[in-house]
């Protein structure tokens, strides 16, 4: 079954790059360019994994993640932070917010697909238990 990936990203160039890589890899891509739109889409769409930009125009991506984790329905939804500021301490901040991991910017095909495959695989394994 094709995994459905929601990309929450306000930068059109980054969105275009992510879309191109994911479609080419055979994923189904859903797109939101703000935190509010991302949360609204999660209410109505089936999503297997979220790529969450940290700097969004309305709500910080990590605030969105914290809100989602408070909802039982999204407690185990795989979320990967998309971030240009993967400095010391940032990784801890993303994990503390509830992200499963992060993909550093500039985004590369190998890192994006690797992180997604790894996260979906771990999710599948934990669902079997």
Closest contact distance (angstroms) between CB of 72 and Mn ion is: 28
Closest contact distance (angstroms) between CB of 40 and Mn ion is: 18
The token pair at 33 is 């360019």
Strands 4-8 and 28-32: parallel
Closest contact distance (angstroms) between CB of 8 and Mn ion is: 9
Residues touching Mn ion: how many (CB under 5 A)? 3
State which of positions 66-105 bind Mn ion (CB under 5 A): none
The token pair at 6 is 């929601």
Q: Between residues 10 and 63, which has the closer beta carbon with respect to Mn ion?
A: 10
| Spatial contact of 53 and 38, defined as CB atoms under 8 Å apart | no
| Spatial contact of 116 and 24, defined as CB atoms under 8 Å apart | no
Sketch the per residue contact string, 26 through 55, with Mn ion: x for CB under 5 A, - otherwise.
Answer: ---------------------------x-x
Cα–Cα distances in angstroms (integers) from residue 113 to residues 18, 37, 80, 102, 107, in the given order = 10, 24, 12, 12, 10
Closest contact distance (angstroms) between CB of 9 and Mn ion is: 6
Q: Which residues bind Mn ion (CB under 5 A)?
A: 10, 53, 55
């Amino acid at each position: 079954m094709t995994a459905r990936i929601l990309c929450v990203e306000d930068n059109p160039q980054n969105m275009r790059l992510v879309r191109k890589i994911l479609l080419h890899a055979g994923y189904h891509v859903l797109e939101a360019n703000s935190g509010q739109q991302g949360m609204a889409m999660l209410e109505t769409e089936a999503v297997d994994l979220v790529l969450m930009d940290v700097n969004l125009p309305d709500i910080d991506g990590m605030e969105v993640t914290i809100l989602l984790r408070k909802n039982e329905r999204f407690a185990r939804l795989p979320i990967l932070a998309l971030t240009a500021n993967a400095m010391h301490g940032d990784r801890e901040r993303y994990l503390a917010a509830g992200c499963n991991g992060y993909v550093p910017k500039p985004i590369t095909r190998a890192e994006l697909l690797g992180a997604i495959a790894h996260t979906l695989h771990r999710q599948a394994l934990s669902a079997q238990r």
